[in-house]
Amino acid sequence: MADFSPTHQYFVIYKPFGMLSQFSDDNGRATLGELFLFPKDVYPVGRLDQDSEGLLILTNDKKLNHKLLNPVFKHKRKYWVQVDGEVTEQAAEQLAKGVEIKVNKSVYKTLPANANVIPTPENLPGRNPPIRFRKNIPTSWLSLELTEGKNRQVRKMTAKVGFPTLRLIRAAIGKFEIGSMQPREVVEIPKRIAYQKFLPKEN
């Protein structure tokens, strides 16, 4: 059973495009500190790249942090990925089986994943700035559910099968889905909900 210490706090945010997953930056780039006055002992669980967006968890619960970041536990993360071109079912099948990408200058075979071609997600908030528009080249969407998180893995995977990523949104962590959240939105959730949604196998 989880240790529900009364001092633990849990925040879910929709990190916008162009923001770093940290609280300060010497170069003046946008950081999480602009969104909310978070408690001093609360930090992001993992990260999203500056050019990615979507769900990010912040907490001071070290047990939850360990469970979500340790690759042994293989917790699920779902991404919506807008790619350059009309993505094919064959490409989705390749992604599902695993592809070879470079990680730390070595070749790495990604673990099996859930990969599906999907229509444009409903009620999708706009991105600022929007992706580049090219009249003669369409874009399309993939849903990717991974149980690992190598550096820039999704982008490397879609490029490997011939469809470079244009927009990347983390849509779910465990059973917690982005729903109607908007960029820059911050939601504090109770501990019970945090463990039920992010670590459903423990409940």
**Are 122 and 171 spatial neighbours (Cβ–Cβ below 8 Å)?**
no
Q: Please tell me the predicted confidence (pLDDT) of residue 6.
A: 55
- Topology annotation, domain 76-173: Alpha-Beta Plaits (3.30.70)
**Which pLDDT score, from 0 to 100, does residue 133 have?**
78
Q: Of 49, 51, 61, 84, which residue is the catalytic one? A: 49
- CA–CA distances in Å: residue 135 to residues 99, 101, 132: 30, 30, 10
What is the domain partition of the chain in residue ranges? Answer: 10-71+178-202, 76-173
Please tell me the pTM assigned to this model: 0.92
Residue 201 has pLDDT above 50, yes or no: yes
Task: Please report the pLDDT score of residue 30 as a whole number.
Answer: 96
Band of pLDDT at residue 202, cut at 50, 70 and 90: very low
d(CA 142, CA 119): 8
pLDDT for residue 74: 85
Contact 72, 29 (CB under 8 A): no
Tell me how far apart the alpha carbons of residues 87 and 158 are, in angstroms, rounded to a whole number: 9
Is 51 annotated as catalytic? no
pLDDT at residue 3, rounded to an integer: 40
Over 70: is that where the pLDDT of 203 sits? Answer: no
Say whether pLDDT at 182 is over 70: yes
Count CB atoms within 10 A of the CB of residue 135. Answer: 5
Q: What is the mean pLDDT of the chain?
A: 92
Q: Counting Cβ atoms within 10 Å, is residue 179 exposed (0-12), middle (13-18) or buried (19+)? A: exposed
Minimal CA–CA distance to 166: which of 124, 116, 127? 127
Q: Do the first three CATH levels of 10-71+178-202 and 76-173 match, i.e. the same topology?
A: yes
pLDDT tens-digit map of 127-181 = 989 998 777 889 999 999 999 989 999 999 999 999 999 999 999 999 999 999 9
Q: State how far the alpha carbon of 77 is from the alpha carbons of 12, 28, 29, 155, 183, in Å.
A: 14, 30, 26, 15, 18
Mean pLDDT value across residues 103-121: 95
Name the nearest CA neighbour of 42 among 165, 145, 194, 202. Answer: 194
Q: What is the DSSP letter of 73?
A: G
Range scoring the smallest mean pLDDT among 32-36, 52-56, 130-134: 130-134
Least confident of 12-21, 24-33, 128-137, 143-152: 128-137
Q: Is 10-71+178-202 assigned to CATH 3.30.70.580? A: yes
Choice among 64-73, 104-113, 183-192 with the minimum mean pLDDT? 64-73
- Residue with the two structure tokens 């962590």: 173
Spacing of C-alpha 66 from chain mean position:
17
- Predicted local distance difference test score (pLDDT) of residue 50: 96
